[in-house]
A and B are shown apart, each in its own frame.
Chain A
Amino acid sequence: MAVDKNMRILVIDDFQTMRRIIINLLRQLGFANVTEADDGTTGWERLEADKIDLVISDWNMPQMTGLELLQKVRASEQYKTIPFIMVTAEGKRENVITAVQSGVNNYIVKPFNAATLKEKLVKVIGDF
């Protein structure tokens, strides 16, 4: 099935710079329908307020971390199937294992480039 490039993507990171980088790289890849949040709590609010097709979230954030959000998403009946990509500076093996066990669809270690982002997106939503 062809990927809908108009899919709604939620980008969550407490660093505004990082959100801008991800949003711009997504735009370069043809995905312009993007919304953003600065931590897990506001990310959850965006999920509830908007129809989100894909979540790209940082791990380390104040209030609610990306991992906590992932666990909350997977535990909810409504959003449990939403594709979820974790983006983090922590490349520790145990973190990756925890994220996978919590139901993450893919895991990107910072710093990353557009090619890596595309590769992970293809794995999660299909080729485009």
Chain B
Amino acid sequence: MTDQDQMAAAMATGAQAPEENSLQNSMDAIANSNEEMIPRAQVEELITLVKDVFGGHTASVNNNDLFAEIGELAKFINGAKKDLNTAKTGQIADQDIPDASNQLDAIVKMTEAATGKIMDECERMQSVQAMLRERLLSIEPPIDPDAMAGIDDSLNDMNTSITFVYEACNFQDVTGQRIQKVVKALTEIERQVLRMVVVFGLAQKEESLDEETKAELMEDVDLLNGPQLEGQGLDQDDIDDLLNTLL
């Protein structure tokens, strides 16, 4: 039986060689460490154990290269941990994103109200214009037909301008729909960030939460799926409760 065959057989049966136990212990020690940086000695020990587990199959890999790679990995993980802390993920999911969504909703409502007002005035201008024409036509003695034709042209020009204003009001619908798309994207980001908070929170509170509570929390996060209808999914209070459980 070759080395590879032995390793495959060991993996298939779940049996662990003594080297693998040592490697697992070393990895557990690093995972449970509260230190921001992993000491060089610990990384070197880890490399040696990895080499032992692979029975010298890594002999062709330069120790320094491997150390540099693992060092980079450690730096990356450390940086990601720091970013997570400084980014205040809970605040982003709980306050910042809902705030941004609310601001965008307010923009849609304000432009809708303003557009309504513009159209009210357009309608008023059209009725004034129609009334003006009637009054001009009812003047006695009648206005000279050529002069009336000129006035009519001007009134029609005015009507065309009002039509252009109506056309321009299209912007409200189009921008409204685009903003709704942005709100939808924000909600998706909120869901992802919240999911990340829950996953990290669960990892930290592994011992204090039972399986049922963990499953419920993950289900709650999955319910955060796009703009929800009233009475469905989680409301802000539910989200706050969820975050309070975890943070």
CB-based contact A110/B170 at 8 Å: yes
B67 within 8 A of A: no
A32 within 8 A of B: no
A89 partner, pick from B123, B164, B167, B174, beta carbons under 8 A:
B174
A28 within 8 A of B: yes
CB-based contact A24/B123 at 8 Å: yes
B48 within 8 A of A: no
Measured in the bound complex, the distance between the Cα atoms of B170 and A111 in whole Å is 5
B173 partner, pick from A17, A24, A25, beta carbons under 8 A:
A17
4 smallest beta-carbon distances between A and B, as pairs? A111-B170, A18-B173, A113-B167, A24-B166
Q: Which residues of B contact A (CB under 8 A)?
A: 112, 115-116, 119, 122-123, 159, 163-164, 166-167, 169-174, 176-177
Given A17-B173, A21-B169, 15 further pairs, Cβ under 8 A? A15-B112, A15-B172, A15-B173, A17-B169, A24-B122, A24-B163, A24-B166, A25-B167, A28-B166, A60-B177, A89-B173, A89-B177, A110-B174, A113-B167, A114-B163
A25 partner, pick from B112, B123, B166, beta carbons under 8 A:
B166
A21 partner, pick from B112, B119, B159, beta carbons under 8 A:
B119
Can you list 16 A-B pairs with a CB-CB distance of less than 8 A?
A: A13-B173, A15-B112, A17-B119, A20-B116, A20-B119, A21-B119, A21-B173, A24-B123, A25-B167, A89-B173, A89-B174, A89-B177, A111-B170, A112-B170, A113-B164, A114-B167
Measured in the bound complex, the distance between the Cα atoms of B12 and A48 in whole Å is 68
Measured in the bound complex, the distance between the Cα atoms of B172 and A89 in whole Å is 12
A111 partner, pick from B115, B164, B174, beta carbons under 8 A:
B174
Say whether chain B's binding surface is mostly helix, strand, loop, or mixed: helix
Distance between B44 CB and nearest chain A CB, rounded to angstroms: 57
Chain B residues within 8 Å of A89, by CB: 173-174, 177
Measured in the bound complex, the distance between the Cα atoms of B122 and A123 in whole Å is 29
Measured in the bound complex, the distance between the Cα atoms of B163 and A15 in whole Å is 19
Measured in the bound complex, the distance between the Cα atoms of B179 and A15 in whole Å is 14
Distance between A14 CB and nearest chain B CB, rounded to angstroms: 10
Distance between B153 CB and nearest chain A CB, rounded to angstroms: 17
Chain B residues within 8 Å of A114, by CB: 163, 166-167
Distance between A107 CB and nearest chain B CB, rounded to angstroms: 16
Measured in the bound complex, the distance between the Cα atoms of B173 and A98 in whole Å is 23
Q: Mark A92-120, 1 if CB is under 8 A from B, else 0.
A: 00000000000000000011111000000
Instruction: Considering the complex, give the chain A residue whose CB is closest to the CB of B114.
Output: A17
CB-based contact B174/A17 at 8 Å: no
Distance between A85 CB and nearest chain B CB, rounded to angstroms: 16
Chain A residues within 8 Å of B122, by CB: 24
